[in-house]
Every structure is written in C-alpha cells, then in structure tokens.
A and B are shown apart, each in its own frame.
Chain A
Amino acid sequence: MTIDPRTLTEAGERMAQDTPQAAALGIRLVSVEAAVAAMAVAYRDDLVGDPATGVLAGGVITTLLDHVCGLAVATAAGPVHSTATLDLRIDYMRAAEPGRDIIARAHCYKLTHTIAFVRAAAFEDAEDDPVATAQGAFVLNPAAPKAPDP
C-alpha cells in the first residue's frame, strides 16, 4: 500500500493542529512517512513538572509519545481505521534538559487485523540518547459506516 507523502504530511499536520490538547501543548509535526512519525514539543515554563529543577513534566512527554504513536499507527493502518490506545508503557531514562525542545519518534513495527504495535523514543538530539522510550499497543477500529440520511 503506497500513500501519497503529501497526504501523510497533511494528516500529520491535522493531527498536531486540530487536536485541542496537542495544540495546547504546542505539539508540531517534524516528519511522517508510512508507519514512522516524529513530533516535537517546545520547552515552556508552564509545562514544568518539578519547579526545583525546571524539568518538563513527565506527563508532557507521555502525551507527546502517545500522540506520535497514534500518528505512526494511523499512517501504517491507512485511512480505513480509527485507532485507540490500549496500553502504553513508558520508561524514563533521565530528566529532560531544561530549556530544550523534545522530539519523539515512533515506529509502528507490526500490524495485525485488530492491533498495532508501536515503539517510540523521546530525545533532545539523538534517538540513541533518549529521555524516555515507549512501547504501546493500539486497537484498530473499522472506519465508522457512513451515517444514514435522516
């Protein structure tokens, strides 16, 4: 299945801009291709989790990881599905560096008829030096049938 790269980019930008919570966090699309997506969040004082250190809240990274995993799954599964997170496991390797953007990159590496499996990492500079890594399973819902005319 080949999807037009422009279609993927448009879908990714919609997912970053049209989701209220993603817009509230300032999540932006970095890159997207089939089954692989990257998004970023800029450092902001109002997103700090520990005022003693100025480190971004883990929850910001959780939401970024969940969001980018959802996009990777959507681009892997194609437009016929909506998706929902079943579970997400996140390992926090180290504190994020205060003042720096966080990038998260996700890869949907296995797709069955009903489930998508995805891995992701969040980092400032390099994927092999992650702030956090994630592993998730998403359920694929068939596209909703077109609503009958009233």
Chain B
Amino acid sequence: MSAQPPQKLAELLAAIPYARFLGMTGELAGDEITAILPFSPHLIGNTVLPALHGGVLGAFMELTALAQLSMSEPLRRQPRTIDVTIEYLRPGRALTTYALADVRKIGRRIANVHVEAWQENRASPVAALRGHFLLSPGQDGALAEPGRH
C-alpha cells in the first residue's frame, strides 16, 4: 500500500458498502482511528426517545475494530469477526457518535479489541464492545469462505 494513512482510511471505508450505508467516516491521529458516525434519521431504532438502534451502535463499533486492525496491521484480507459482546450504557441520542478501538492483544491469528463509543462526552460512553477477530482468515477453514456447501 503506497497510499498515505488518511487516504488509506478513506479508501478502506469507501470500499465497504455497509460503512457507506451507515454514513461512517473516520479521522486519524497517528495510527489511531477516531471513527465518526454522523446522525441520520435512518439510524433510529426508537422513535419515542428518539435513540439510535442498538444494532447500529454495535455495528459501528465492530467496523471501528475492523478498520483499526486493517490500518495497524499489514493484512492480506479483512479480518473476520469471531465474537462480540456489546454493552449498552446509555441511549444513543440523535447526535454524532464517535468510537475508538483499543487493540488489547494481537497474535498471529487472533486479535482482541475493545471499543468504546460516545457522543457529547468522552467520559460518558453510550456503548462498549469487546470482540475477537480472526486475522489472515485465508489460512483458517471454517470462516474463510462464504458458505461451506
């Protein structure tokens, strides 16, 4: 990859149709991504509050983890999500949401990543995610190819 990091991040997100569906962008400070999810009415899951859909917050944090892994590691392919645990701390309001990923451990095949998402106040996160991700999935059977049949 010869692209400069900010351009690489923009290209990475632009290449993921679902990231475009959400309207997700990102900024880089060194090699650290701050993921940005501007509010949009189609992200609402609760019209009464109103609040962002919990699935959208989970999806946004998962994409943040995948993008951070792709930016900081020379991967041949996009990592595969093995599992995620999403904790909902506060309703996600109709505001811009931010997320930072903390790569806690990166091994030869598996990475452990924690992500936190917040809105107006970094110290009052709206949601958190912990997940495991399979790197270089081409070498591992079950998750490597779409479908197995």
Task: Give a binary string over A47-82; 1 marks a CB under 8 Å from any B CB, 0 the rest.
Answer: 111111111111110111111000000000000001
A50-B16 contact in complex given A19-B45, A84-B88, C-beta closer than 8 Å? yes
Contacts of B37-56 to chain A: CB distance below 8 A: 41-48, 52-56
In the complex the two chains form, is A21's CB within 8 Å of B83's CB?
A: no
A22 CB, min distance to chain B CBs, angstroms: 8
B21 partner residues in chain A, CB cutoff 8 A: 24, 46-47
Chain B residue at smallest Cβ distance from A59: B59
Stretch of B27-35, B101-109, B140-148 lying at the A interface: B140-148
- Does B1 sit at the interface, judged by CB under 8 A? no
In the complex the two chains form, is A87's CB within 8 Å of B146's CB?
A: no
A-B contact count (CB 8 A): 145
- Does A10 sit at the interface, judged by CB under 8 A? no
B64 CB, min distance to chain A CBs, angstroms: 11
Chain B residue at smallest Cβ distance from A19: B45
- Does B118 sit at the interface, judged by CB under 8 A? no
In the complex the two chains form, is A20's CB within 8 Å of B42's CB?
A: yes
- Does A85 sit at the interface, judged by CB under 8 A? yes
Chain B interface extent, by class: 35 or more
- Does A30 sit at the interface, judged by CB under 8 A? no
In the complex the two chains form, is B146's CB within 8 Å of A95's CB?
A: yes
In the complex the two chains form, is A88's CB within 8 Å of B18's CB?
A: no
Chain A interface extent, by class: 35 or more
- Does B80 sit at the interface, judged by CB under 8 A? yes
B18 partner residues in chain A, CB cutoff 8 A: 46-49, 56-57, 59-60
- Does A140 sit at the interface, judged by CB under 8 A? no
Add 11 more A-B contacts to A49-B17, A88-B86 (CB < 8 A): A21-B43, A21-B44, A46-B17, A46-B18, A48-B17, A63-B55, A84-B88, A86-B88, A92-B82, A94-B147, A97-B146
B146 partner residues in chain A, CB cutoff 8 A: 53-55, 95-98
Task: Give a binary string over B57-82; 1 marks a CB under 8 Å from any A CB, 0 the rest.
Answer: 01110110000000000000110111
- Does B123 sit at the interface, judged by CB under 8 A? no
In the complex the two chains form, is A62's CB within 8 Å of B87's CB?
A: no
Alpha-carbon distance A96/B147, docked complex (angstroms): 6
